[in-house]
């Protein structure tokens, strides 16, 4: 175990005792990680950028598209109602 690794583990143990968090840490410095931890870090970021980020991006576009579609549909219905109105009362009711 390198001195850097020992220092990092000591810092992590203090943080875990303070926060109660335990488990995988993708923020581990690359230079102190063992090979299996490096594989875990690479897999974590691959899933985050390859799966989660595109899903969030596509979901955001879907919500934005749905909102714009609803707004245009409401505007079109209102315009059609106003064109059909024969009296000022009916026009303002739209």
Write down how long the chain is. 94
In a domain, 3, yes or no: no
Using alpha carbons, list the distances in angstroms from residue 30 to 25, 50, 87.
11, 20, 74
Q: What is the pLDDT of residues 34-92, one digit of tens each?
A: 888 899 899 999 999 999 999 999 999 999 999 999 999 999 999 999 999 888 888 88
How far lies 50's CA from each of 19, 42, 59, in Å?
Answer: 30, 11, 15
CA neighbor of 40 nearest in space, from 10, 48, 20, 56? 48
For residue 63, being part of any structural domain is answered with yes
Number of structural domains, the chain?
A: 1
Which residue is listed with tokens 């799966």? 51
Is the residue at 29 inside a domain?
A: no
Residue 19: which pLDDT band, with cuts at 50, 70 and 90? low
- With respect to residue 85, please indicate whether it lies within any of the assigned structural domains: yes
Q: Looking at the domain assignment, is residue 65 inside a domain?
A: yes
pLDDT of residue 14: 84
- Domain residues for 94? 52-94
Q: 69 in a domain, yes or no? A: yes
Decide if pLDDT at 22 tops 70.
no
Q: Give me the pLDDT at residue 15, please.
A: 81
């Amino acid at each position: 175990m390198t001195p850097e690794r020992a220092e990092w583990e000591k810092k992590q143990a203090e943080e875990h005792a303070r926060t109660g968090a335990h488990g995988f840490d993708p923020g581990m410095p690359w230079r102190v990680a063992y090979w299996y931890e490096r594989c875990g870090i690479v897999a974590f970021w691959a899933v985050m950028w390859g799966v989660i980020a595109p899903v969030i991006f596509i979901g955001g576009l879907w919500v934005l598209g749905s909102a714009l579609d609803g707004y245009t549909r409401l505007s079109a219905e209102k315009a059609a109602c106003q064109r059909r109105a024969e009296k000022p009362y009916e026009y303002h009711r739209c």
